[in-house]
């Protein structure tokens, strides 16, 4: 199968099933992440001339990112939309802003993370996004910068 046909079929039929409601149930166990990634790993072998190449190189040649990177990118975009009021959700229900960080340097949107006593809590949306790069968001170009950041990090893999 050629690259263009594969990308149309993969992006239209396969990837939507792999990413269905991913922000809600984002897998955190390595075995679950690997299980989802294995589907994409296997699917990329269908393309002519890419079967014997390493997975990262196949992704690079098809201009795809790993599903794990896509989930992280989606989380960062969702945090931005919640903090900017684009979702119609009260940001205070999810996040606490770190007031101390703005006085020293950076921006006013740094998140404060409460300590989690249970491992289960560490995987909640409001907790798992804290470790992701939420750099100084420019009001209009944040989503494109996030896309570039994740594209650069996935191409360096």
**Which sequence spans correspond to the domains of the chain?**
3-64, 69-155
* Low-confidence winner among 34-43, 49-58, 91-100 (lowest mean pLDDT): 91-100
CA distance 119 to 110: 23
Q: Are 107 and 125 in contact (CB under 8 A)?
A: no
pLDDT in tens, 21-36: 776 677 888 898 898 8
- On average, the pLDDT of the chain sits at 78
Q: Helices 142-155 and 67-83, interaxial angle, to 10°?
A: 160
Gap between the Cα atoms of 53 and 134, Å rounded: 33
- Give the C-alpha distances (Å, rounded to integers) separating 91 from 4, 44, 79: 40, 39, 9
- For 90-131, the pLDDT digits (tens) are 888 877 777 665 565 666 667 766 777 777 667 777 777 776
């Amino acid at each position: 199968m050629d690259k263009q046909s594969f990308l149309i079929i993969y992006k239209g039929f396969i990837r939507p099933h792999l990413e269905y409601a991913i922000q809600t149930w984002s897998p955190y166990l390595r075995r679950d992440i690997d299980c989802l990634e294995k589907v994409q790993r296997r699917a990329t072998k269908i393309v002519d001339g890419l079967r014997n190449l390493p997975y990262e190189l196949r992704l690079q040649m098809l201009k795809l990112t790993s599903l794990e990177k896509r989930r992280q990118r989606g989380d960062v975009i969702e945090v931005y939309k919640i903090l900017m009021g684009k979702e119609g959700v009260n940001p205070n229900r999810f996040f606490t802003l770190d007031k101390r960080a703005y006085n020293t340097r950076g921006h006013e949107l740094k998140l404060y993370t409460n300590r989690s006593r249970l491992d289960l809590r560490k995987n909640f949306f409001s907790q798992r996004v804290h470790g992701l790069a939420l750099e100084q968001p420019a009001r209009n170009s944040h989503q494109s910068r996030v896309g570039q950041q994740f594209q650069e990090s996935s191409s360096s893999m």
